[in-house]
């Protein structure tokens, strides 16, 4: 009996009995023909758009239909898609773009597909925020990327700005071509400290959680702040990226003092010494505020009762003229105590020449920076009595620093062990 030559029946038979997946050469040939649109962009000369999952499934099905028809024609002895019956079908090799070599397109395709993106990271265990979905859990349906030009990234890395769409929500991230690979890609939580946020959702920088003091204090901070990893320094702190375009990338945001303002957390701060131990007579935030207010070196304003997040606090400003002589606590080795409250506004750029230490007290000159203080009574059962948060910046940048720190201060929560 002659087999049916009806194309519809052949196609149905192919789907019913054929392979579940396209052979690799066919898939590669179809992918080579996928049109990628490029256009001018803010951060680079072009942009690559990836298909949504629906489009991918549709084109894959269409490719199967084409293969089935071509196979039918070839078996029938008729002309093939390439020309005469004797012609052998061939695919024209297309050199991949330099960006494709780094795996950015495949990385985004995997994120849209919902799995497998980790294999394109230099460290597959590295945390990439919103890897497969938005904060609401909506999966991505398409993605695009563009190179970030005009910035010399550390280590010779290349930067890419990627966008992932889930309907209206848009997630934007900085992704880097990092160490020699493959795999190629890196995500830096601080974005190397430029004006470009590492991750945004609908234009808002994504806040990251931080835990300090053995889990007793948590907070959330977003760009333009950089917070070193917990336990990196004696006092938890963050640095505020300077305002304006053209901020060069850095790998030492935690060490910067040239225009980088700070937010510092201190448990049971010490005042004038001697030594780094907090005064045992200062048992709560009100007593500490009174001690600060009565210290003539500190030039503090009267404390105001405020509610910060879910906790009560006292807020006050400390303003010391640049070059004024101040004293701060020091340890037995002559080092300025990290928990010394006035240490944050002590000029320490020339330790050993501009600072003298005697009997557990370091004396030096004030930087002239202003300081906004928030003083909290820690919950009963905590290992600390008082938590102090200090926002430190010159007068010219003080308002910006205080405004930028407000969401961080509001996010502070206490957790009793």
CA distance 306 to 316: 10
Q: Rounded to an integer, what is the distance from CA 166 to the centroid of its chain?
A: 20
Per residue in 235-285, pLDDT tens?
A: 889 999 998 788 889 887 656 667 899 999 999 998 877 888 888 889 999
The residue among 198 and 325 whose pLDDT is bigger is: 198
Torsion region of 65: left, alpha or beta (phi above 0 gives left; psi -120 to 50 gives alpha)? alpha
Residue with the bigger pLDDT between 119 and 75: it is 119
Name 94's Cβ contacts closer than 8 Å, sequence gap at least 6.
32
Tens digits of per-residue pLDDT, 114-163?
A: 999 999 999 999 999 999 999 999 999 999 999 999 899 999 999 999 99
Tally of CA atoms within 13 A in the half-sphere of 66 that contains its CB: 13
What's the rounded Cα separation, in Å, for the pair 30 and 178? 30
d(CA 114, CA 166): 12
pLDDT digits over 363-411, tens only? 888 889 999 999 999 999 999 999 999 999 999 999 999 999 999 999 9
Q: How many angstroms separate the Cα of 102 from the Cα of each of 130, 169, 176, 321, 374?
A: 21, 26, 9, 53, 47
> How confident is the model over 63-73, as a mean pLDDT?
38
Taking residues 177-189, what's their average pLDDT? 85
208-414 maps to which CATH number?
Answer: 3.40.1000.10
Domain with CATH 3.40.1000.10 in the chain: 208-414
Terminal-residue alpha carbon distance, the chain: 82
- Measured CA to CA in angstroms, residue 10 lies from 15, 20, 22, 89, 272 at distances of 9, 16, 17, 21, 89
Q: What integer pLDDT is reported at residue 348 of this predicted model?
A: 65
Task: Please classify residue 234 by burial: count the beta carbons closer than 10 Å to its beta carbon, then call 0-12 exposed, 13-18 middle and 19+ buried.
Answer: exposed
d(CA 241, CA 199): 15
Instruction: List phi, psi (to 5°) of 153.
Output: -75, 150
Tell me the three state secondary structure of residue 358: strand
pLDDT, tens digit, 9 for 90 and up, residues 6-23 = 544 544 443 444 444 444
The Cα–Cα gap between 121 and 185 comes to 5
Q: What is the mean pLDDT of the chain?
A: 79
What CA–CA distance (Å, rounded) separates 286 from 226?
Answer: 30
């Amino acid at each position: 009996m002659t087999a049916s030559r009806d194309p519809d029946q052949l196609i149905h038979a192919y789907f019913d009995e054929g392979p579940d997946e396209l052979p690799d050469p066919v898939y590669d040939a179809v992918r080579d023909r996928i049109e990628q649109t490029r256009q001018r962009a803010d951060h680079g000369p072009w942009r690559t758009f990836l298909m949504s999952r629906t489009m991918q499934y549709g084109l894959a099905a269409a490719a199967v239909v084409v293969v089935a028809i071509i196979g039918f024609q070839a078996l029938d002895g008729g002309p093939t898609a390439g020309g005469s019956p004797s012609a052998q079908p061939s695919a024209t090799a297309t050199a991949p773009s330099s960006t494709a070599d780094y795996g950015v397109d495949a990385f985004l395709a995997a994120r849209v597909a919902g799995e497998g993106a980790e294999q394109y990271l230099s460290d597959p265990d590295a945390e990439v925020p919103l890897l497969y979905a938005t904060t609401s859990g909506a999966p991505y349906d398409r993605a695009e990327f563009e190179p970030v030009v005009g910035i010399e990234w550390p280590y010779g890395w290349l930067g890419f700005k990627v966008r992932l769409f889930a309907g209206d929500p848009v997630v934007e991230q900085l992704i880097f071509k990092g160490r020699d690979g493959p795999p190629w890609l890196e995500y830096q939580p601080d974005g190397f400290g430029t004006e470009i946020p590492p991750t945004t959702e609908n234009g808002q920088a994504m806040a990251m959680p931080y835990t300090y003091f053995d889990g007793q204090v948590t907070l959330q901070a977003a760009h333009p702040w950089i917070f070193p990893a917990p336990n990196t320094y004696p006092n938890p702190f963050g640095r505020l990226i300077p305002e304006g375009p053209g901020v060069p990338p850095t790998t030492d945001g935690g060490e910067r003092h040239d225009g980088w303002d700070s937010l510092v957390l201190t448990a049971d701060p010490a005042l004038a010494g001697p030594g780094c131990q907090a005064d045992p007579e200062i048992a709560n935030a009100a007593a500490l505020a009174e001690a600060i207010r009565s210290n003539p070196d500190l030039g503090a304003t009267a404390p105001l009762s405020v509610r910060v997040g879910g906790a009560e606090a006292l807020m006050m400003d400390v303003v010391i003229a640049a070059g004024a002589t101040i004293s701060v606590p020091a340890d037995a080795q002559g080092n300025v105590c990290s928990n010394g409250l006035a240490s944050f506004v002590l000029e320490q750029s020339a330790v050993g020449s501009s600072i003298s230490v005697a009997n557990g007290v370091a004396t030096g000159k004030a930087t002239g920076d202003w300081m906004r203080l928030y003083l909290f009574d820690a919950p009963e059962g905590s290992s600390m009595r008082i938590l102090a948060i200090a926002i430190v910046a010159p007068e010219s940048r003080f308002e910006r620093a205080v405004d930028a720190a407000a969401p961080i201060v509001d996010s502070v929560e206490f957790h009793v062990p």
